[in-house]
Chains A and B, each alone.
Chain A
Amino acid sequence: MNPITLSLKLLGRQGQSMPLVMLLAGLAVATAALSAVSLFTDRVGRAMERQASEALAADLIVAGRERVPVEFVDQARSMGLETAELVLVSTVIFAGDESNLIDVKAATDGYPLRGRLQVSPELGADDREVEQGPRPGEAWLEPRAVRTLDLELPATVELGRRTLDASQVLTWEPDRGGSRFMLAPRMLVHFDDLMAADLLGPGSRARFRLLIAGSERSVAEFGSWVSDRLDDNQALITVADAEDQTGQALTQARRFLGIAALTAVILAAVAILLTALRYQRSQRDLIALLKCFGASTTQVGLAMVLVLAWLVLIAVAVGGAAGWLAQESIVRALAEAPVGELPPARLLPLLGSAVFTVLLAAGFALPPLMSLRRVPPMRILNRAMDRMRTPWLLSWGLAIAGALAIPVLQLGDLRLAVIVLGACLVLALALALTGWLAMLGTRTLATRAGPSWRFGLAGLQRRRAGGILQITALGLALMALLLLLVVRGELMSQWQSSLPPDTPDHFLVNIQPDQVEAVGERLTSIGARNLQIRPMANANLLRVSGQRPPDDRMAGQVNISWIDELPPANEIVAGEFFAPGATGEVSLAEMWAERLGVELGDELTFESGALEFSARVTSIRRVDWNSFNVNFFILLTPDAGQVLPHQHIASFYLADGDGSVLRPLNREFPNISILDIGALIQRVQEIIDQVSNAAQVVFFFTLIAGLVVLLAAIEATRDERRHESALIRTLGADNGLVRRGILVEYGVMALIAGLLATGGAAVTGWLMARELFNFAYQPTPILFALGFVAAFILVLGSGWIGNRSVLATPPVRILRAG
């Protein structure tokens, strides 16, 4: 017999048989989840590749906290290099009645040196490449900025002292790469405007960049010339650095979605295994017959491989198409977050998913199917002659390891994959254990309830192993979705309301000493609460008790302040805070001291400008950073203020939340930058929302895989159920009793699954709240309502679908059942 004909016959004959359909479904779901993620990451990857060469808008950058010395520029020019300068600063921008925190980039003529800017005259209009950045007096805003400021171009915006003409929508910056997750939207202006806006005081947190471009040799020469002349706060950024950074962003996205896909794949693998086992059981008689007629072991084996091959083919087609649609929704969910404009999807990544599906089939479906080769023809005469041998453990282990290899590769991080797999395993075991205990509990119930309970719970007990598997699979999938759908939102809102009502939501930086009093008055008059204005100076940490401080980004240039009493939200954990009139002392935040290994009694030596000074560590403070107050790692005794050049920084809560009341202040003191923390938090939340929306798409496949497990398990036990139902009907049970019995069986399962899913999500949320946000999370009734309703709909729904034929079984069947 020709194996191809045989395989087609086997498929054709059983085309509608449930085990085959479920096997197909399991394979297709796994393909879909993986295709979605790989299609998406491929698009992001290509977008980033395309950008990498222009990611700096230059060939080399000198970056620093201050404007680079003119001699750098002169040297570059003399080497025949092109130059341009950039300043980046975040501040609140006013436009009409609106105000928002904007990431301002100011560029000299010539920017960008590599790549092109693209602009459009209004939102949604076609964009075009331009040779040059904005002219003085012009501002170009990213679409998100246009929307948050509610602008109708052309319009005017106020940048500190300057009023600018918002003339274009900025649709593309070549050097946006690393800051794809940029918190505030971008506004691009001319360098001269920002300098004239008076925003760049010493505390403004502005970042300056000198862009260099030219021949490879000259760039390299300039690089080595300049690297000897850089101070501690300056750094060289090369194209390779930029690639690293974009690569990292891609890796992050890939990891997150990869984890989601991996859970879908694990459940799909379970479903595939279940259905394959069921399928081979249903085929044993037929195969025994074929062998009686002379089919050889090789022919049967080959036919089975082919059956599986056809299934894989269909699964790749169906799953690939579903994955294609899903990646579109992922892209849409992430529209404004990390990815921006993407190249269209291409078919190539589907090849990888196909290979993976083949491995999955080989790992989980082939071993059971291949065991059909060994069916003894004697089975035809006597079924007892056919002892199903459990396949050799090692061959299974190898196959399964092979099938899991691809998602692990996809994740691109072995350690992380092991952690995810391990966590899944631990979670599954915990769920299974709880499920098992709950089922044990129902056993006692069974002895004191009516016939439908007794019958239903008897079914539950009988199919306990399968039931636990179903509950675990569905519980896991539901838990993941509940975490994303419900707990995430609740965490955010509960965290925000856990903050005291007048938690500062605005910061003012760069307040000059002679402005402090006036600014304080003005702020009080517009209703600012919880106002703190604190001095701040920049200094370099030179020595710790005579030694060079460790090489750490928290050493080097530091912000310092001084005060005569312990500020709120601070707690002394070692030593004692400054006594009144103390001088030459310093108090450190615990986190900073531990990181740099500084202890009580050490002497810190700082340098500010030409001034060098020292102070002895007399106390260590624990700071509640969640308080959003202005806090400093390093606090000096007030005598420091007498000698150090400094400015002030203010934090306050603005009662009515409307930033436009700050406009007069902005006009009067244009040098002051306003930071809107509320807007920042909102932006963080938006990003989290978008990323979890994307992950939801993938976790949706996990849920489908869980459902396939559920249906596969129902399918595997259907004959048993039909038999039991026929039996109790013979004993006189009516349809209602049988139906109620099934309802009890699945109802209890749904209850346990719902319990596990909501409980798991609530506990995870509680742990996250405690560890990350430092507050006590309280799950709301919505979580439980949603979890239980979903569990009941899914479990009872599939129970109903899977058991329709059970209800239709006539009792007379019991007389014919062996």
Chain B
Amino acid sequence: MITAIMERMHAPEKLILDCRHVGFRVDAPDGELVILDDISFQLNGSETLAIVGASGSGKTTLLGLLAGLDRPTRGEVWLAGQQLNQLDENERARLRRQRVGFVFQSFHLLPSLTALDNVILAIEIAGMDRAGERARQALAQVGLDQRLRHYPRQLSGGEQQRVAIARAFAIEPDILFADEPTGNLDRSTGERIASLLFDLNRQHGTALVLVTHDPHLAERCQRVLTLDGGRLVGADDAQAKPIAATASL
């Protein structure tokens, strides 16, 4: 508890994510399948990090482990000062609801809730007060204050993703995970969404982990990690402790 408070106070400099020798293996019909192997890196609050790599290289799996959606089979993930391996499903959920925001490739809004209610639901889950007010603000920030009562099916892909971004920032997370946030959008919409994401990220001072296979998008992050076949093959920054190979871009 005390560490959590202290971390918050020193948010910008403080380590938000610490990934130590993480591996992920699954049992397959013909032997064990190594999906991630010995991944280590650290991320400070308010840093932005891109994870790139070919399709199937393990980016999404890694993101899931970092966000505590799943548990690694090897190594440790520390998120906001807590070791995820030691938390059960519900404890990890509690950590996520207060600290973590998500933006997905396919938006994932609840179709039977309006834009406003989708955001309110996330705020309520986070256990924050004045949910309506916060949700309105968040939607205004993404330029959707005229579309509060619209259902997802009445919104374009770009607009849906903006609702998702509002939902992610509305809970004032410490860290935001985005998995191919522009993957389902056309190029120009994608660019506008990316700009919005980075702008809001800067404004809120949130750490960002962005999975993408788009080099332009990756370039806009401060750091880039490259995955190949489940191994970290490149990190373009000096702080990254492990196997610092050539910068890969």
Name A residues whose Cβ lies closer than 8 Å to a Cβ of B: 446-447, 450-451, 454-455, 458-459, 461-462, 724, 727-737, 810-812, 814-818
Contacts and interface: CB of A to CB of B under 8 A. Distances in A.
Given A731-B96, A733-B125, 15 more contacts: A451-B125, A454-B121, A459-B112, A727-B108, A728-B121, A730-B96, A730-B102, A731-B167, A732-B100, A732-B122, A734-B90, A735-B89, A810-B89, A811-B69, A818-B106
Interface string B123-158: 011100000000000000000000000000000000
B117 interface: yes
Contacts of B124: 450-451, 454
B111 A462 contact: yes
Contacts, number: 84
Contacts of B70: 810, 812
B201 interface: no
Main secondary structure of the interface of A (DSSP, over half): helix
Contacts of B112: 458-459, 461-462
Given A450-B124, A735-B89, A812-B64, A458 B97 contact: no
Interface in B25-71: 60, 63-64, 67, 69-70
B11 interface: no
Contacts of A736: 90
Contacts of B93: 729, 732-735, 811
Nearest to A455: B121
Interface centre among B89, B108, B120 (most CB of A within 10 A): B108
Nearest to A810: B70
A23 to B, nearest CB: 27
Contacts of A729: 93
Nearest to A453: B124
Contacts of B60: 815-816
Interface in B163-206: 167, 179
Interface centre among B63, B94, B104, B110 (most CB of A within 10 A): B110
Contacts of B104: 814-815
20 contacts: A451-B124, A455-B121, A458-B110, A458-B112, A461-B112, A462-B111, A728-B121, A730-B96, A730-B102, A731-B96, A731-B121, A731-B122, A732-B97, A732-B122, A733-B125, A734-B89, A734-B90, A810-B70, A814-B69, A815-B60
A810 B67 CA distance: 13
Contact of B126 (A459, A727, A732): A732
B113 interface: yes
Interface residues of B, number: 32
B117 A446 contact: yes
Interface centre among B94, B104, B113 (most CB of A within 10 A): B113
B85 interface: no
B63 A732 contact: no
Given A731-B96, A817-B108, A454 B120 contact: yes
B110 A812 contact: no
A145 to B, nearest CB: 66
A729 B102 CA distance: 11
B117 A458 contact: yes
A817 B108 CA distance: 9
Contacts of A446: 117
B98 interface: yes
A454 B113 contact: yes
B225 to A, nearest CB: 18
B152 to A, nearest CB: 11
Nearest to B211: A815
Contacts of A730: 67, 69, 96, 102
Contacts of B97: 731-733
Given A731-B97, A735-B89, A812-B64, A817 B121 contact: no
Nearest to B117: A454
A735 B111 CA distance: 21
B113 A815 contact: no
A735 B110 CA distance: 18
A816 B180 CA distance: 12
A735 B90 contact: yes
B230 to A, nearest CB: 16
Interface centre among B63, B104, B112 (most CB of A within 10 A): B112
Contacts of A732: 93-98, 100, 122, 125-126
A444 B126 CA distance: 22
A735 B167 CA distance: 21
A815 to B, nearest CB: 5
A736 B97 CA distance: 14
A462 B110 CA distance: 9
Contacts of A450: 124
Nearest to A735: B90
A446 B116 CA distance: 12
Interface centre among A724, A731, A810 (most CB of B within 10 A): A731
Contacts of A817: 106, 108
B16 to A, nearest CB: 16
A462 B151 CA distance: 11
B229 to A, nearest CB: 19
Contact of A724 (B98, B110, B167): B110
